[in-house]
């Protein structure tokens, strides 16, 4: 038995070093702390980075030796979330990789309150210094070192700016040899977020990081900065002389086209795609604001969802509407991707207009288990 377990660990370490697998397939081979044996481990990601709607992609049960395996289909590099109970950690994955990870147990500082989540650090094995997760850890370590000896010292905005400007220069030198495109954006927009949090000029940040640049909908760090930079933007504009009619466009008329026309008077936004995204973000804020009629806001979002030609905006609006509808009878079904028996990815939306039979299965259901036996 000891030899068997030794060989299993050995094979596990061999597997995590391998990075080649099926096209657009990501496999995560995990080892969990012994306290998690028998528990469900869930892999999820964000459907978009405006509503931060989570999508459950895979799940497994930690076996008697602490091992589990999760799979994900993706064509892009992105962060994913892995959780057991209320513990949750984030790692970055890219297509065609196999990852080996260690999921830690609870410690004395872990929040055990039901319904809350506690962030944990997931270890990624078999990575070299140029692997994305290793680069992210290294960068965050360098950043934290900036303030190790300054915990009790008052740092003025000017001092913070100086520290970050110096750190930016040293980081560019440290990672000059790194070619990974995701990490390059990670670096750039992490600094954008740093500068935004210390109240650096919004005009300067907009011109440096957003204006005349593509909107990186799938980049977590870009969208994190974007959301911070434009927080409350539309509501603030509505309070200006030029934006005063925005309230009527929503509360009185519930008219998306009228809202678009009102917003065009903001000459600082010249990109139509950016303008529509800001309207969408603003509508999401308005829905939860007491200043706006929820049904009217919902109606405007539904119009945007129907009329937009930008798939990312349709998805964001759809995610918000799904949370509003809460899957009421007659509401559109949420789109999802599943894998058929040949291994190909299939979208529910591909079958629009056709009858679909969905079988909801649970290992805790006696009926489901009997159905599984019949299928086999």
- DSSP assignments along 48-104, one per residue: -SSS--EEEEEEEE--TTSEEEEEEE-SS-EEEEEEETTEEEEEEE-TTEEEEEEE-
Token representation of residue 277: 């995204």
What confidence score (pLDDT) does residue 221 get? 97
Q: Is residue 134 part of a domain?
A: no
Q: Give the CATH number, domain containing residue 27.
A: 2.60.40.1120
What confidence score (pLDDT) does residue 188 get? 97
Which residue would you say has higher pLDDT here, 366 or 160? 160
* Same-domain status, 7 and 100: yes
Residue 360 scores a pLDDT above 90: no
Residue 316 scores a pLDDT above 50: yes
| Cα separations in angstroms, 274 against 130, 149, 195, 269, 303 | 33, 41, 21, 7, 18
* Same-domain status, 10 and 107: yes
Q: Is residue 330 part of a domain?
A: no
Residue 22 scores a pLDDT above 60: no
* Same-domain status, 6 and 117: yes
Please answer whether residues 100 and 124 qualify as being in contact, where contact means their C-beta atoms are separated by less than 8 angstroms: yes
pTM of the model: 0.78
Task: Examine the fold and report which residue of 126, 160, 188 is the final residue of a domain before the chain moves on.
Answer: 126
pLDDT in tens, 162-210: 999 999 999 999 999 999 999 999 999 999 999 998 888 999 999 999 9
Q: pLDDT category, 359, cuts 50, 70, 90?
A: confident
Per-residue pLDDT, averaged over 220-240, amounts to 92
Task: Examine the fold and report which residue of 126, 151, 176 is the final residue of a domain before the chain moves on.
Answer: 126
What confidence score (pLDDT) does residue 8 get? 46
Q: pLDDT category, 21, cuts 50, 70, 90?
A: very low
What confidence score (pLDDT) does residue 112 get? 58
What confidence score (pLDDT) does residue 75 get? 92
Q: Is residue 181 part of a domain?
A: yes
Residue 319 scores a pLDDT above 90: yes
* Same-domain status, 85 and 55: yes
Q: Among 62-66, 132-136, 356-360, which is the least confidently predicted range?
A: 356-360
Which residue would you say has higher pLDDT here, 128 or 276? 276
In the predicted model, what is the mean pLDDT of the chain? 85
Q: Is residue 202 part of a domain?
A: yes
* Same-domain status, 74 and 18: yes
Q: Is residue 228 part of a domain?
A: no
Q: Is residue 353 part of a domain?
A: yes
* Same-domain status, 167 and 269: no
Residue 69 scores a pLDDT above 70: yes
For the chain, percent of residues with pLDDT exceeding 90:
59
Please answer whether residues 99 and 26 qualify as being in contact, where contact means their C-beta atoms are separated by less than 8 angstroms: yes
Per-residue pLDDT, averaged over 55-63, amounts to 96
* Same-domain status, 114 and 143: no
Total count of domains within the chain = 4
Q: Among 27-31, 222-226, 249-253, which is the least confidently predicted range?
A: 249-253
Residue 9 scores a pLDDT above 60: no
What gap in Å lies between CA 84 and CA 106, rounded to an integer? Answer: 10
Which residue would you say has higher pLDDT here, 288 or 335? 288
Residue 257 scores a pLDDT above 70: yes
What confidence score (pLDDT) does residue 262 get? 85
What gap in Å lies between CA 206 and CA 182, rounded to an integer? Answer: 21
Q: Is residue 363 part of a domain?
A: yes
Task: Examine the fold and report which residue of 284, 304, 325 is the final residue of a domain before the chain moves on.
Answer: 325
* Same-domain status, 247 and 293: yes
* Same-domain status, 194 and 148: yes
Residue 45 CA neighbour count, 13 Å, CB half: 23
Q: Is residue 332 part of a domain?
A: no
> Which range of residues forms the domain containing residue 37?
2-126
Q: Among 112-126, 203-217, 224-238, which is the least confidently predicted range?
A: 112-126
* Same-domain status, 154 and 245: no
Token representation of residue 264: 């065009």
What confidence score (pLDDT) does residue 97 get? 93
Residue 85 scores a pLDDT above 60: yes
Q: How many helices (H) and strands (E) does the chain have?
A: 13, 11
């Amino acid at each position: 038995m000891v030899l068997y377990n030794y060989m299993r660990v050995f094979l596990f370490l061999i597997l995590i070093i391998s990075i080649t697998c099926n096209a657009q397939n990501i496999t995560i081979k995990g080892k969990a702390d012994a306290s998690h044996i028998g528990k469900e481990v869930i892999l999820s990601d964000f459907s978009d980075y405006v509503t931060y709607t989570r999508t459950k992609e895979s799940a497994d049960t930690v076996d008697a030796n602490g091992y589990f395996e999760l799979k994900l289909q993706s064509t892009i590099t992105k962060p994913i979330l892995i959780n057991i109970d209320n513990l949750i950690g984030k790692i970055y994955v890219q297509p065609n990789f196999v990852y080996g990870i260690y999921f830690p147990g609870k410690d004395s500082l872990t929040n055990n309150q039901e319904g809350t989540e506690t962030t944990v650090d997931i270890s990624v094995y078999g990575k070299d210094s140029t692997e994305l997760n290793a680069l992210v850890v290294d960068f965050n370590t360098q950043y934290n070192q900036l303030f190790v000896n300054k915990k009790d010292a008052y740092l003025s905005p000017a001092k913070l700016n100086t520290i970050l400007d110096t750190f930016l220069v040293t980081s560019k030198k440290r990672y000059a040899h790194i070619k990974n495109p995701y990490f390059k954006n990670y670096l750039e927009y992490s600094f954008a977020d740093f500068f935004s949090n210390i109240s650096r000029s919004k005009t300067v940040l907009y011109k440096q990081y957003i204006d005349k640049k593509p909107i990186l909908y799938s980049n977590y760090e870009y969208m994190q900065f974007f959301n911070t930079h434009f927080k409350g933007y539309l509501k603030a504009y509505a309070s200006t002389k030029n934006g005063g009619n925005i309230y009527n466009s929503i509360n009185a008329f519930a008219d998306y086209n009228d809202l678009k026309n009102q917003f065009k008077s903001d000459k600082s936004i010249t990109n139509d795609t950016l303008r529509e995204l800001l309207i969408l973000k603003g509508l999401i804020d308005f829905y939860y604001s007491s200043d706006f009629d929820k049904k009217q806001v919902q109606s405007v979002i539904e119009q945007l969802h129907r009329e937009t030609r930008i798939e990312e905006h349709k998805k964001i609006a759809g995610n918000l509407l799904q949370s509003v509808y809460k899957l009421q009878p007659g509401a559109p079904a949420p789109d999802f991707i599943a894998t058929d028996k040949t291994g190909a990815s299939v979208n529910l939306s591909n079958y629009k207009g056709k009858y679909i039979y969905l079988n909801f299965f649970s290992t805790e259901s006696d009926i489901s288990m009997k159905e599984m036996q019949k299928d086999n």
